[in-house]
Amino acid sequence: MKVDFTLTAERRMDVGKGASRRLRHAGKIPAVMYGAGEDPVSLTLDHDSFMHRLEHEAFYSHILTLSVDGQMYKAVLKDLQRHPAKNRMLHADFLRVGEDDVIHMSVPLHFIGEDVAPGVKAGGLVSHLMTSVEIICKAGELPEYLEVDLSTLEAGDSLHLSDIKLPAGAIIAALQHGDDHDQPVASIHMPRGASDDDGANEDEAGEEESAE
């Protein structure tokens, strides 16, 4: 079930570095909303409330509702500027979107089926080579995450971008550049020395049988 994210913001007329510093000292965060053929709007958000929303993974790949002085806008989070040393946000960018607007967004990957994968049952280890992927789709069809099913992977197998199941109409941005951009997303490999150990165990078992 999708979560509804609504942010309350205020328009700000006082812009510039000095104004932004004053906002941050007051527990606010400066932001901007742009796109949809309209002029950019400078905004102010409550910092702590915004930080709480950032704890939700879905917030980063979700159509948000921005309530600006009582007027509602649909937007996605496009950029965040973080403090280099403190757990604080310095600035946020929002892109206005309509349901049919085509957008580029990074969507998290959720890996499933690892515990039943033949390669894992044989003693293999799973490597997650990506945690998110950029897709192109209509804003109204933006998924919160993409599932990556590893349940059929054998040891030595890899699953690639082209293997990910996508919503109808969505495409993976990297694959627009050709097959050589079809990068691996996850793989299963045997631990180093596992084959040698197995062989040694078999030899020892054979010697014990001969001795008997």
Mean pLDDT of 143-149: 95
Two tokens, residue 83: 């403090």
Q: What is the pTM of this model?
A: 0.79
Residue-level pLDDT at 195: 56
Interval 57-94: pLDDT, tens: 989 989 999 999 889 999 999 999 999 999 999 999 99
> Whole-angstrom Cα distance, residue 159 to residue 142?
23
Instruction: List domains and CATH numbers for the chain.
Output: 6-97 (2.40.240.10), 104-195 (2.170.120.20)
Mean pLDDT of 110-116: 97
> Whole-angstrom Cα distance, residue 109 to residue 55?
17
Query: Helix, strand, or coil here: 204?
Result: helix
Residue-level pLDDT at 173: 97
Residue 125, CA atoms < 13 Å, CB-side half-sphere: 7
